Structure 1
Amino acid sequence: METTRILFIIIISGLIGYFTNVLAIRCLFRPYEKIKFGPFIFQGLIPKRKDEIAEQIGIIVAKEFVQEDDIIGQLISQDDEIYFRSFVSDKIKSIVLEKTSFLPESIQFQLVKRLNEKVEKESPKAFNDFKELAENQIREKIDLQVIIEEKIKELDLKEIEVLVLQVASNELKAIEILGLIMGLAIGIIQALVSLYLL
């Protein structure tokens, strides 16, 4: 009879430890909406602090992981100068041929040739000026922190929950098992205390 009581205490303690951790993990997300119970208000930790979490993630990502200069460097690189020069050259050729269609082809050819030589000479500076202007415009108009923050705020809470549970399923399962082990350990201590001291 004493053995049954000890086993009962150990099993109940283990189950309490397990289900307490399961409930704690679920309470990270649920309930999604505020529930009033008298003077108390219940809401999942992540839904309750979603805006604050979004803001903090935005700050961390924008300052520590992805900076504007990294993105700008990917958008406009020195390699793009070739395409820039080719684009300008083709535009000039098209405009010259259109506007001087009344002239003989040899003169048109000479005009295009001279203008292209000028483009070749001036294009590095023109490209750098364009690159600097574009970079400044991007810096003024794009705020990575705000973009990230808004995107997180737009996420559906169910989607966030599914994502977190998928990514951290092994770790969360380990926390649940740890609750069971700790509960069993506490149950054993309680059983020993009740057996020898009471």
Structure 2
Amino acid sequence: MNPALWLAPVTGALIGWFTNYLAVKMLFRPHEPVTISLTKLTIQGVIPKRKKEIARSLGEIIEKELISIDELTEHLSQEIQNEQLLDLLAAKASAGVVNSLPNLIPDPVKAVIGNLVANLVHHQGPELMRQVTSHALTGIKQNIDLSRLVEDKVNQMDWRQLEQLVLQVAAKELRHIEVLGGVIGFIIGLVQLVIIHFSH
């Protein structure tokens, strides 16, 4: 077979790859609107153009599908009320009380007082922590809008940060899209080659 006949598949592969490569780049660029003077057409990257919509949708998805404010506060509640934290509070309270006692009090007495404080924290601490935690987390639920928090964070990003974020998450998938364009272009060119071959 004439090597020149392979020009169609190779050209198709290059066109397919370049088309998808250009499409991927145009997700982000140009960052700012650019007007083509002759046509009055304004172009801008899809993601920069729809940044606010993307930020709002991302915030809603994270809150509804990934983690809600209720789930977040429940997790915080469990962390706050764990045994290690209670032990730490008991040790800190005991040490604080003992260190504040006058020097004239004998060390054995200080040790007894320290143990009493630690035992008191262990006994009363869980209920006190539940009350404080419940009050604090209720305030968090009422005052924090997780969806809006994510939306504002995304909107505060500049174009480079947003582009870098997307590329970190989807670089492999975007590369596959580019390669797929080349593969499809090659197959189309190959089909054309077969049609030309059998039509003669």
Q: Flag whether TM exceeds 0.5 (same fold).
A: yes
Q: Does 1:43 align with 2:79?
A: no
Q: Does 1:23 align with 2:22?
A: yes
How far 1:30 moved relative to its partner? 0.8
CA–CA separation in structure 1 for the residues paired with 2:170 and 2:121: 56
Q: Percent identity?
A: 32
CA–CA separation in structure 1 for the residues paired with 2:5 and 2:87: 81
- Report the AA paired with residue 52 of structure 1: E
- Report the AA paired with residue 16 of structure 2: G
1:19-168 alignment runs, 5 A limit: 19-37=18-36, 38-66=39-67, 67-73=71-77, 76-79=80-83, 80-82=85-87, 123-168=125-170
Between 42-51 and 64-73, report the one with greater CA deviation.
64-73
Question: How does the TM-score come out when normalised to structure 1?
Answer: 0.72
Structure 1's unaligned 5+ residue stretches are: 99-104
- CA deviation string 1:47-92 (max 9, x = no partner): 1121111112212222332333244325522434455566777888
The verdict on how the C-alpha distance between 1:27 and 1:70 changes in structure 2, with shifts beyond 3 A counting, is farther
Larger Rg: 1
Question: How does the TM-score come out when normalised to structure 2?
Answer: 0.71
**Contact preservation (8 Å) 1:72, 1:138:** no
The verdict on how the C-alpha distance between 1:75 and 1:190 changes in structure 2, with shifts beyond 3 A counting, is same
CA–CA separation in structure 2 for the residues paired with 1:191 and 1:70: 63
CA–CA separation in structure 1 for the residues paired with 2:8 and 2:96: 85
Instruction: Give the number of aligned pairs.
Output: 188
Between 123-132 and 56-65, report the one with greater CA deviation.
123-132
CA RMSD between the two structures: 3.6
CA–CA separation in structure 2 for the residues paired with 1:47 and 1:123: 51
**Contact preservation (8 Å) 2:87, 2:122:** no
How far 1:26 moved relative to its partner? 0.6
CA–CA separation in structure 2 for the residues paired with 1:142 and 1:91: 34
**Contact preservation (8 Å) 1:84, 1:127:** no
- Report the AA paired with residue 81 of structure 2: S
